[in-house]
């Protein structure tokens, strides 16, 4: 792995990054898709919803809506019903169908492959943009800060917890001391910017999925399994 720093990681952070790479060498996106457009739809649907439910919904959705025109011509009420299971379906339906319109009329039927244009699509903020650009086009222009990345980058001290914004401090007790575990409503943009400063650009894409896998398997929000965690010796938030 070749490191290209803006601000060098300290030795502990380097060890954490190396271990994540060793533990989760095959980490990848869990959403199923066959085109950049399908990926965009799946990522929009994944907000506040598990990837498993999204994959179940898109299995039928992608069968029913085969082309971009099928979305362009869709009836919003019917479409809402088709994605209802993913939650926040009214907003998601509105954004997806408006995005289909824009992709067809402004971008010649192709999901944009650059940050500026993809951010112009309704319902697409930096997290969605990073996921789509990285997976569909191999464009690493940032780090997708989902709930796992927000939590674990703080716990692992990859970002400075005093500079991530937010107010909802989640605490835990260790040796009769109350310690800030992470800030739940931290600003994803501040976290992304700090991660982009400290992590080498060539691992931005891969480490996103390594952190997500770690969050799903071990470093869970409520009860992190610190006694099973291979990062334990290097984690400032370890509970053991």
- Closest C-alpha among 204, 193, 120 to residue 159: 193
Q: CA-CA distance, 42 to 211, in Å (whole number)?
A: 20
Cα four-point dihedral sign 33, 36, 40, 41 = negative
Beta carbon of residue 230, minimum distance to ligand SF4 (angstroms, whole number): 8
| Contact region with ligand SF4 (CB under 6 A), list: 39-47, 61-69, 137-145, 232-240 | 232-240
| Contact region with ligand SF4 (CB under 6 A), list: 1-9, 43-51, 80-88, 229-237 | 229-237
Q: CA-CA distance, 49 to 120, in Å (whole number)?
A: 23
Residues 102-161 that bind ligand SF4 (CB under 6 A): 155-156
Q: CA-CA distance, 130 to 127, in Å (whole number)?
A: 5
**CB atoms near residue 5 (< 10 Å):** 11
Beta carbon of residue 227, minimum distance to ligand SF4 (angstroms, whole number): 8
Which residue in 40, 195, 211, 219 binds ligand SF4 (CB under 6 A)? 219
Q: CA-CA distance, 156 to 225, in Å (whole number)?
A: 14
Residue number, 53 or 170, with CB nearest to ligand SF4: 170
- 212: contact with ligand SF4 by CB under 6 A: no
Task: Indicate the angle between helix axes 147-155 and 188-198, nearest 10 degrees.
Answer: 60
Which residue in 43, 45, 164, 235 binds ligand SF4 (CB under 6 A)? 235
Beta carbon of residue 134, minimum distance to ligand SF4 (angstroms, whole number): 23
Residue number, 94 or 239, with CB nearest to ligand SF4: 239
Which distant-in-sequence residues (6+ apart) come within 8 Å of 39 by Cβ? 31, 33, 111, 131, 132, 135, 136
Residue number, 7 or 216, with CB nearest to ligand SF4: 216
- Closest C-alpha among 32, 36, 33 to residue 108: 36
| Contact region with ligand SF4 (CB under 6 A), list: 33-41, 74-82, 111-119, 225-233 | 225-233
Residue number, 83 or 226, with CB nearest to ligand SF4: 226
Question: What is the binding site for ligand SF4 (CB under 6 A)?
Answer: 155-156, 218-219, 224-226, 229, 231-232, 235, 237-238
């Amino acid at each position: 792995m070749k490191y290209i720093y803006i601000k060098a990681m300290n030795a502990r952070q380097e060890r954490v990054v190396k271990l994540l790479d060793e533990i989760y060498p095959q980490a990848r996106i869990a959403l199923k898709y066959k085109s950049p457009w399908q990926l965009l739809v799946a990522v929009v649907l994944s907000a506040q919803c598990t990837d498993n439910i999204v994959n179940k919904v898109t299995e039928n959705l992608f069968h029913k809506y085969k082309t971009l025109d099928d979305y362009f011509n869709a009836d919003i009420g019917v479409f809402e019903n088709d994605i209802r299971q993913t939650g926040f379906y009214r907003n998601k339906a509105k954004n997806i169908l408006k995005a289909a319109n824009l992709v067809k009329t402004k971008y010649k039927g192709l999901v944009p492959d650059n940050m500026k244009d993809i951010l112009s699509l309704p319902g697409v903020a930096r997290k969605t943009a990073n996921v789509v650009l990285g997976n569909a086009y191999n464009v690493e222009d940032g780090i997708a800060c989902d709930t796992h990345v927000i939590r674990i980058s703080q716990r692992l001290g990859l970002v400075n917890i005093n500079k991530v914004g937010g107010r909802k401090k989640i605490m835990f007790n260790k040796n009769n001391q109350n310690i800030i575990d992470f800030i739940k409503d931290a600003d994803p943009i501040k976290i992304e910017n700090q991660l982009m400063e400290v992590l080498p650009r060539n691992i931005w894409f891969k480490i996103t999925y390594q952190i997500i896998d770690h969050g799903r398997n071990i470093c869970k929000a409520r009860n992190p399994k610190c006694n099973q965690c291979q990062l334990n010796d290097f984690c400032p938030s370890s509970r053991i």
